Structure 1
Amino acid sequence: MICSRRFTGFLSRAATRNCAAFIMALGLLQGLCMNAWADGNSVCILISFDGFRHDYISRLPNGAIKELIAHGCTADALIPVNPTKTFPNHWSIATGLYPSDHGIVDNRFYDRVLNDTFNMTRTEPVWWRGEPIWTTVERTGKTAFTYFWPGSSTPINGHLPSKWFTYEHSRDYTSRVDSIVTWASMPKPPDLIVSYFELLDDAGHRYGPNAPQVDSALAVANSLISRLVKGLEARGVINNCTIVLVSDHGMAEINPATPHDKHLSVEQFMADPTVRVIVSNPNILVYGLPGTTANTIAAGINADSQTYRATATPVSDLDTAWHIQYPGRTPDLIVTAEYGYDIDVGKRPARKSTGGNHGYSNSISDMHGIFIASGHRIKPGRIQPLSVIDVYNIICKLTNVPPARNRGNANRVSDVVH
């Protein structure tokens, strides 16, 4: 720590003085160090690696991420909300709310009131509810910079972060890291920096979670964190920074042996023009079904679930663990593929699915992500799994701001932060 290095030199000089003078000087030095943290120079860096499954940690090469784990706090897992998709979970991490509160109930969904469909390019404020952490930080007079976090380019209550970017999938990873280093080493740095990396999700979807290409992506992720840490060290600001790594969900291997004629096709739902079908693999969201029709379709699918490799649930029977009952956006029927299977979105014969997917129940461990934190205020050690909705309160504590209303367990903050 910078203060510690200064203290080393001071100690050698003070050793020749009387004890009382040394103690007075030590107290003064301690106050200076405390003021260095109190004057706003402490930076919290929150980074999401989309699709970083909790057990990928065992496959990491030696290096920066393992160093953060060794000296910081690691949860056994970060449990996503349902559905285990990118946008619902990133918004739950940012707000500490369930989809039933913040309105992002899937990566794609229909809103009956708006008569419009949400997808991952929509940034209009009407879709996004709740207060994300960067808005909380800025509302208290502090500063937040974001780099590609889902939803961070949407004005919330008319406000955007002090710095933000429109998402570009092709944006170079190293340039993102270098921007973080530059921001953290500004004379007056932001209190919060939030960033997002999609490389592990890309590799997991394309090749499957057990593929060597995922190991290669893990090596790249490790090199990015190494670049971050070395950059902060070179600028002399590493001791002013707390680094928090999270992920939104894990990844499942798609069963490549699924016979073409045993995929559930969405065609059977499309005969009625009043029915709206949203495919968000491995789920189908069906809107416009009367309750009796939804029950009938669900019963038919569930009676032959081994053929379809799927189960169907009318909204009236949705387990409360789903937390997606948002007015106007909750489907009448959700059809979910069996773990390791996909939904067929075209005419038979279907293509054979390969690679990986997510979106299955958050009770399945392969859907769980990571939480790793390291810095001067972090309690070292391993802790029980956290929920994604717990992260918001932790970041509020690290940035010294009062949280907005949220669903996170406030008691979990003390597991992580001194």
Structure 2
Amino acid sequence: MKKVLTFLALSFCISGLFAQTDTVSHIIAGRSNTEEQQKKPYVILISADGFRYDYAKKYHAGHLLELSSNGVQAKAMIPSFPSVTFPNHYTLVTGMYPSHHGLVNNSFYNSEKNDQYNMSNKLKVTDAKWYGGTPLWVLAEQQHMLAASLFWVGSEAAIRGVRPTYYYNYTEKISMPERIEIVLNWLKLPAEKRPHLITFYLSEPDHSAHHFGPETPEAEAAVQRVDSVVYQLTQAVKATGLPVNFVFVSDHGMTQVDTANPIPAPKVIDAAKFKIIYSSTTLSLYAKDKADIKPMYQALRKSAKDYKVYLKTEVPARLHYGAEDDRMNRIGDILLIPDWPRVFSEKTPGMGHHGFDPRKVKDMQATFFAWGPGFKEHLKIPAFENVNVYPLIINILGLSYTEQIDGKMEVLRKVLKK
């Protein structure tokens, strides 16, 4: 049992550093913007992984503060639970809670198919069967508006049979100057071939804060690097003269945890009866026989210390992570959630973590800045849920949608000039 959990914990730690070395540009031939779509605005959606809600001010990200002061600054953006990378990146581009779009964690199990998704498994990441909802680029392409992705969760899979016209498989092998040049070259294409939606992902400051902690010089340096990249990107795009709107977001925040007192996996868990998906902030148990759920739940409740135990049917409604929300049956039958600042680990955990309830642990909250011709200027807004970014971008691009989503345009309508 201990060996299995140690292996899973190790897999979780290295998964954030996983990178493919595919630096080839992928282009879907035969597509063009219709004449109507050529007249629409442009959106570059930027994500800086783990860019906590207060990082820009805390670490003096001068360019981001100046750019967003001429546009929109949110007090914070509230991630969906669990506040981890893959679920929240996919929520941002679908407008749906993880329990609704299907990516319920960075790693999870589908008991009906006896299959497991893991963010570090390339075959799973590129398999469209795991992805529900309609990502922004799929919606755009369906309406004959070209899209491009310089990395985003789901962009490597043919979701609903569609990938972005221009995309790269995830890799850290492409330098920042090269990434900026790629975006610039996309925007220099003829109008009928030019993408109006571009996603642009940065893995920092998440990596640095995981390793060194969020309150460190290394985290500050990572924030400064992100600030510099965003400035260079905006300057390059400005030279094109195109009406480009920038939306800068993050998937979650980051917090310092108790590294001296990790919580070991409860000894009462019977690995012969349950499939165990292990992470530092969520331990999910999938019963092989449903008759074993109640006895295991009761045993865990008796021994629980520094963590909460929930049946899937009893998860707090605010998390949108219970049985009623689990549309694809991918959430564990029993969930163990540690009390911040404690985390699950069989060894000394890393300094920085995320995954906690963002309404209870404020450090989990993310960033939202926006600027460009479509946005009001010098506007500060209160915190809002990240499901609302999707309808906002759809509105800017002049697209239509009929799918039921969790985000509401009313929440962010006030940030737009029109």
| Cα distance between partner residues in 2 of 1:90 and 1:371 | 13
- Partner Cα separation in structure 1 for residue 169 and residue 413 of structure 2: 35
In the TM superposition, residue 272 of structure 1 has moved relative to its aligned partner by 4.4
SS of the equivalent of 2:370 reads strand
How many angstroms apart in 1 are the aligned matches of 2:163 and 2:207?
28
Find the aligned partners of 1:179 and 1:193 in 2 and give their Cα distance.
11
Residues 354 and 364, structure 2, Cα contact 8 Å, conserved in 1 = yes
CA–CA separation in structure 1 for the residues paired with 2:370 and 2:222: 21
- Which one has the bigger helix percentage? 1
Residue 321 of structure 1: CA displacement? 2.4
How far is 1:38 from its partner?
7.8
Partners of 2:184 and 2:319 in 1: CA distance: 38
Q: Deviations over 1:184-240 (max 9, x none)?
A: 23332211111111111101111111111110001100110111122123x332x51
Partner residue, 1:236: 240
Residue 146 of structure 1 and its aligned partner are, at CA, apart by: 0.6
RMSD (CA atoms): 2.1
Structure 1 distance, partners of 2:267, 2:140, is 47
1:44 aligned partner: 43
Counterpart CA distance in 1 for 2:380 and 2:199 is 24
Aligned residue number for residue 145 of structure 2: 142
Identity of aligned residues (%): 26
User: Which aligned pairs between 1:279-290 and structure 2 lie closer than 5 A?
Assistant: 279-288=278-287
List, as ranges, runs of 4+ consecutive aligned residues in structure 1 with deviation greater than 6 Å.
none
Q: d(CA) in 1 for partners of 2:164 and 2:407?
A: 23
Letter paired with 2:263: H
CA distance in 1, matches of 2:365, 2:251: 8
1:265 aligns with 2:265: yes
> Matches of 1:298 and 1:112 in 2, distance apart?
18
C-alpha separation between the residues in 2 aligned to 1:335 and 1:294?
Answer: 13
Matched, 1:367 2:364: yes
SS in 2 for 1:110: strand
Unmatched 5+ stretches in structure 1: 1-35, 345-349
Gaps of 5+ in 2: 1-34
Partner of residue 88, structure 1: 87
Match of 1:99 in 2: 98
State how far apart, in whole Å, the 1-side matches of 2:295 and 2:240 are.
Answer: 65
Secondary structure of the structure 2 residue equivalent to 1:74: strand
Give the equivalent residue in structure 2 for 1:357.
353
1:398 to 388, 396, 399: 396
Distance, in Å, in 2 between the alignment partners of 1:93 and 1:297 is 35
Q: Which secondary structure does the structure 1 equivalent of 2:336 belong to?
A: strand
DSSP 3-state at the match of 1:227: helix
Q: 1: CA distance between counterparts of 2:251 and 2:174?
A: 20
Query: How far apart, in 2, do the equivalents of 1:231 and 1:385 lie?
Result: 30
Q: Cα deviations across residues 104-144 of structure 1 (Å, max 9, x unaligned)?
A: 11110000121100011322111101100111111111110
Aligned-pair distance for 1:52?
0.5
**How many equivalent pairs are there?**
370
User: Does the CA contact (< 8 Å) of 1:124 and 1:154 recur in 2?
Assistant: yes
SS in 2 for 1:95: coil
**Cα pair 1:145 1:161 within 8 Å, conserved:** yes
Q: Which residue of 2 aligns with 1:164?
A: 167
Which of the pair has more CA radius of gyration? 1
User: 2:136: which partner in 1?
Assistant: 133
Tell me the residue number matched to 1:339.
340
What amino acid is the match of 2:311?
P
Distance 1:103 1:62, change over 3 A: closer
Q: One-letter code of the match for 2:336?
A: V
Q: Is 1:196 aligned to 2:196, yes or no?
A: no
Q: CA deviation at 1:323?
A: 2.2
Aligned mate of 1:211, from 209, 216, 219? 216
1:411 aligns with 2:404: no
Deviation at 1:163, TM superposition (A): 0.8
Shift of residue 327, structure 1, vs aligned partner? 3.2
Letter in 1 for 2:390: Y
- TM-score, length-scaled by structure 1: 0.83
**TM-aligned CA distance change 1:218 to 1:272, over 3 Å:** closer
Q: Distance in 1 between matches of 2:363 and 2:287?
A: 33
Q: What SS does the aligned partner of 2:380 have?
A: strand
Equivalent position to 1:322, from 307, 319, 324: 319
